[in-house]
Chain A
Amino acid sequence: MAVGHGDSSSSDKKSTDALSDLQTFNAENLQSNMKVIYYSRTFLSIIGGVIAGILGFKGLIGFVFYFLVMAVTSAALTAKAKFSIHSYFDTWNRVLLDGFFGGLMSFVLFWTFAYDIVHIF
């Protein structure tokens, strides 16, 4: 399935010391880490959609659930990076905000699908 969902393969990047305040990043690794974030979010938004549909969330609660799932994803990614964000990503915003709304459409699709199959079947 997803490259790095769960047991993610975030690999380390070089960054020089704080003396000269330089930050060098290995571009390939950075990009690979971004892909890991993207895949995790997509996968979890699909799963979250199915869960929301099965549980019968209607209206606003469903969207709140989506944001909850995204927050859980961010927390899990942070924990996987052992809380030292700066050795894996360049800014904190990446882990928290990147791809936040990207999974929304997939979430809504699978939410609708599961809701219909379970409740209006």
Chain B
Amino acid sequence: MAEDLVLDTAIRDWVLIPLSIVMVLIGVLRYFVSKLMRSTQVPDGKIVKEGQVIVRARNLRAAANFIPAKSFRARRAYFSNEENGLLHVPKGQAQNPQAQMFSDPNMAMDMMKKNLSMIIPQTLTFAWVNFFFSGFVAAKIPFPLTQRFRSMLQNGIDLSTVDVSYVSSRSWYFLNLFGLRGLFSLILGEDNATDDAQRMMQMSGFGFDPTKNLGAEKDGLDIVQHEWALPKFEQRAEAVLRKLVS
């Protein structure tokens, strides 16, 4: 088992560095393309209004303990009153926004476009790597791994006596895929969602917001136990002011 293989410097110049540069550039390109394609989305007035009502109700729930009991109850009645409370949605109407959301062609197309713009560059790059850069040792990872990883990391190399640290370019591709996420978040500003799972969560959260959440907010408000946390704040303010003055 050769301990220290000497690898051709041409591999460095023509495999490692170009692959990394290509992946960085593709990531940047994808970011800009997704920004350009997102420009056509006119928000529906009704949905925005409902979203704002939910935000108000949430604020009330979060800060309930800072206002006296009577004011809190008055505000709560305004929201959850059976007749004309803002959060009370009659049964018939509750279905409509949801159906509209699903059959709305724009939203479905948007999601599909985003998915595709994610998957296609990855697939293409992977195919390119496999086609051009297979069959030789590309890099040496500085830490040892067990024999089990051999088949995963050394895919094009058919010698079984080579140390597992010497990997093929496919594993360099995967290493880049995961490692460049941090770099992207630094150079591209806010997190540009190179992570599939994260973006799925964002999309689904936004789509179903107005329909079920009204009922949920109403229930949440009803549950809140009010406990006024500032009962003696006049005395406290007086004490503080006295300390300041004296």
Measuring CB to CB, which residues of chain A are less than 8 angstroms from any residue of chain B? 1-2, 19-20, 22, 38-39, 42-43, 45-46, 52-53, 57-60, 62-63, 102-103, 105-113, 115-117, 120-121
Measuring CB to CB, which residues of chain B are less than 8 angstroms from any residue of chain A? 5-7, 9, 12, 16, 20, 65, 139-144, 175-176, 178-183, 185-186, 229-230, 236
How far does the alpha carbon of A46 sit from the alpha carbon of B20 in the complex, in Å? 14
How far does the alpha carbon of A111 sit from the alpha carbon of B180 in the complex, in Å? 13
Known: A19-B236, A113-B16. A120 touches B181 (CB 8 A): no
| Minimum CB distance partner of A49 in chain B | B179
Residues of chain A contacted by B186 (CB below 8 angstroms): 1-2, 39, 42-43, 46
Q: B236 touching A57 by the CB < 8 A rule?
A: no
Residues of chain B contacted by A2 (CB below 8 angstroms): 186
**Known contacts A46-B186, A116-B139; can you find 13 more A-B pairs with CB under 8 A?**
A20-B230, A39-B185, A42-B183, A59-B142, A105-B175, A109-B175, A109-B179, A111-B142, A113-B20, A120-B6, A120-B7, A120-B140, A121-B9
Count of A-B contacts judged by CB separation below 8 Å: 76
Q: How far is the CB of B183 from chain A (nearest CB, A)?
A: 7
Residues of chain A contacted by B144 (CB below 8 angstroms): 59
Residues of chain A contacted by B180 (CB below 8 angstroms): 106, 109
Q: B143 touching A59 by the CB < 8 A rule?
A: yes
Q: A108 touching B140 by the CB < 8 A rule?
A: no
Q: A42 touching B182 by the CB < 8 A rule?
A: yes
Partner of A116, one of B6, B16, B179: B16
Q: A121 touching B12 by the CB < 8 A rule?
A: yes
Q: B176 touching A109 by the CB < 8 A rule?
A: yes
Residues of chain B contacted by A43 (CB below 8 angstroms): 186
